[in-house]
Chains A and B, each alone.
Chain A
Amino acid sequence: MSAPLLRVETLHVWFELAGGGELHAVRGIDFELAVGERFGLVGESGCGKTTAILALMGLLPPNASVAGRVVLDGEDILARGEDSVSPHRWRDIAMVFQGAMNAFNPVRRIGDQIVEPMELHRVAEGKEAHRRAAELLELVGIARNRIESYPHELSGGMRQRAAIAMALACKPKLVLADEPTTALDVMVQAQILNLLVSLSEELGLALVLVTHDLPVVAQTCGRTAVMYAGRIAEAGPLDALYHDPRHPYTRLLFATTPDLFEQREVVSIPGVPPRLDREPAGCAFAPRCDSAFAPCASVTPRALIVGDGRTAECHLNDPAARAAS
């Protein structure tokens, strides 16, 4: 395998809380991404997935602190904080935010907002930049003349397409998409996902898709990581995770997703994720786990290789731990 486009190593994020204390939102995650690869990051809300990708771009609020390495094309872009990460923003890594949330400033024209990063990063200027913005809109399936429109004049689905066009403005190598389809209806959702896949294939664009919605990942991504309480519980090819989950959380997460054809009971996972203002003892998932056994409450599980390109953090995969109990 050639050198990865992006390598994330032991990424941690803490938030200083207003009332004192700290929230350890991302607790050391690792993953790699090849050029043009589509990678899914799945988990319940509050598991740290959004924080993790915002950390990749150094977009955390001032009460946050970050540790770890984010290596893009061999360069650790977080090494010197804001100074080292800002030249890469939008130029190499762009972002698509949630559909319902407004990525566009409501009082400025769509076209101007797409042109903005081009001029900032000297990709194109003036007329040329506007021409390129119109082309990008066309590429995502919006009429060229919409560059003159204001955001509120576009439907939710169109606005999300425009946001994708905006992400492509500086020909990035990687696009981070945070719940890009959550607020959209199912038909539009499918269109947007198809658009993302085809753009990724045509332009050789790598994609990190963050979502709580497994079917969304199934439609778009190959390798996937399941996050729980700020750590990656299990990672590997999605179909392997589905057919042979090696972490109870992965299994339960799939079980919570309704299936049209299989007559299987949809379950919900009891309990709530742990509070992360103190370090959980043992496995963070243990209190909600249906297969927890002796070591889970006290010993933190380590990531074990459980197959080809697969890792899982669960004592069930550790013969020594099982033998001991």
Chain B
Amino acid sequence: MTAVITTERLSRWYGQVIALNDVSVTIEQGIVGLLGPNGAGKSTFLRLVVGLMRPTSGALRVLGAVPADEIAWRRRFGYCPEHDNFYEDMTGLEFVETFARLSGFAAGDARRAAAKTLDRVRLAESDYAKKQIRQYSKGMRQKVKIAQALVHEPELVVLDEPLTGADPVSRHEINELLKELGRAGHTVVVSSHVLHEVERVTQRFILIDKGRLLAEGTVGEIRALIDKHPHRIELSTPDPRGLAARLVAEPTVVSVNITESGLTLETREADGCYAAIGRLAGESGIPVLRMVSPDNNLDAVFRYLTRG
């Protein structure tokens, strides 16, 4: 797959404060979640990607260009900023149409493209055509921001915290839209500090904190990077003591604790341990009613990576 965004030792300082520190990453076509807590450097990274800022040091290429130096190239991406800023007296249609025209559309085409895009982000025509933006809910405002980023059908869509403040229905609709963009062949970079939300639209992530790249890849790949950290598995069984007695003898198991609902074990080799649990349950006849790994989600990975 071809790289859409490549950075090499990318850094950005604000005076004495470092916002992004030596980030080297490659982003390919598809949906990528840029994750990190508030102040991690996500917005700075995205502003560098779309050319709103220049790197202090390091190299950055986006769709083959150096972002801050290219003007015509900007037709190829759409940017949805984090901040909730609009011309409040405009309708959603006027707002999106204005930026369609500034992307090179003729007047009539711009209006049609704006209406089509606002339909696509699932904003009702009665809202976007007649109401001023000042009357919109937070979710509707997020959709207008996303629409102005999509109206010119860019190859790369950069969305900075597009789910912030949106109600559950709007979140679902925005998530569906992101998946649809990914299926249509767009590259979508979506930032968030709410990890489980982004997990619904993609399995590819970049994790940053305090301006540093912590990890990149799928949840599984990132999890594999930290396999030396014990991985917890929770089991529900009617005979936790019997199963625990067999599991402690397994070389893949680090520790076993009996709990109210069953037992929790720790392992440094998750795949081997899962196989052992199945084998031991079969041999002993002790049923395993439920098996979950609380560490096998992005929140847990992120907590582990940012700890200390």
Q: Tell whether A pairs with B.
A: no
